[in-house]
């Protein structure tokens, strides 16, 4: 009976790992409406190809009208990646055109800041994001509106926020 326990625990752990992976990896396949449109290219007869394109284009247009298919360009995908920087979200990289060009740092300016009474400063950036200091490091010069800010991704989900030329502080995104 004691030998079965490690096997059972291992099987349960493997099941949880598989379920977690399946939940955090979104399906990024090409939608059927787009596949149908692309398949029309292989038809050699001009009349049948045109008919295929007309039908597939209408199907794709209808799907877009119903918001079943959404098309965005690379610039909008990069905006979406940047707006999510700092949040703990599943890996949406493939949805936004692949994970090769992940956002690892952002630059902005201070829109407002206040001492939060807990662990230092809460800083709102001009891009609308809000960051809270998570370490006890002293900030030599209080952040002022218009100061340049760089936020870099660290290891294991951490972030470093640098105000002007001051040393960086650890921070997390709270809004």
pLDDT tens-place string over residues 90-131: 555 555 555 556 778 889 999 998 988 776 889 999 999 999
Pairing of strands 121-125, 159-163: unpaired
Q: Is 163 exposed, middle or buried (0-12, 13-18, 19+ CB in 10 A)?
A: buried
SS3 47: helix
> In terms of domains, do 57 and 110 share one?
no
Residue 19 lies in a domain: no
Domain that holds residue 53: 32-71
Q: What is the mean pLDDT of the chain?
A: 77
Residue 161 lies in a domain: yes
Q: How many Å apart are CA 104 and CA 154, to the nearest integer? A: 9
Residue 20 lies in a domain: no
Neighbours of 93 (CB within 10 A): 17
Q: Tell me what percent of the chain is helix, strand and coil, each rounded to the nearest 5.
A: 35, 20, 45
Residue 55 lies in a domain: yes
Q: Looking at the predicted structure, is the pLDDT value of residue 29 above 60?
A: yes
Of the candidate ranges 30-44, 67-81, 121-135, 142-156, the one whose mean pLDDT is the lowest: 67-81
> Into how many domains does the chain fold?
2
Residue 97 lies in a domain: no
What number is the average pLDDT over the span 162-167? Answer: 91
* Residue 129 region by backbone torsions, left for phi larger than 0, else alpha for psi between -120 and 50, else beta: beta
């Amino acid at each position: 009976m004691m030998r079965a326990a490690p096997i059972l625990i291992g099987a349960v752990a493997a099941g949880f790992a598989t379920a977690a992976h399946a939940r955090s990896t979104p399906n990024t396949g090409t939608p059927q409406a787009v596949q149908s449109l692309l398949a029309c290219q292989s038809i050699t007869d001009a009349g049948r190809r045109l008919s295929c394109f007309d039908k597939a284009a209408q199907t794709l247009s209808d799907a877009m009208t119903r918001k079943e298919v959404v098309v965005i360009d690379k610039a909008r995908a990069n905006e979406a990646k940047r707006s999510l920087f700092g949040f703990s979200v599943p890996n949406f990289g493939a949805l936004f055109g692949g994970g090769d060009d992940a956002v690892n740092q952002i630059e902005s300016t201070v829109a407002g800041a206040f001492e939060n009474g807990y662990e230092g400063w809460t800083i709102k950036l001009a891009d609308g994001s809000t960051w809270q200091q998570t370490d006890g490091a002293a900030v030599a010069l209080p952040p002022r509106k218009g100061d340049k800010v760089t936020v870099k991704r660290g290891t294991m989900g951490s972030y470093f926020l640098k105000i002007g030329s001051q040393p960086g502080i650890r921070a997390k995104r709270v809004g």
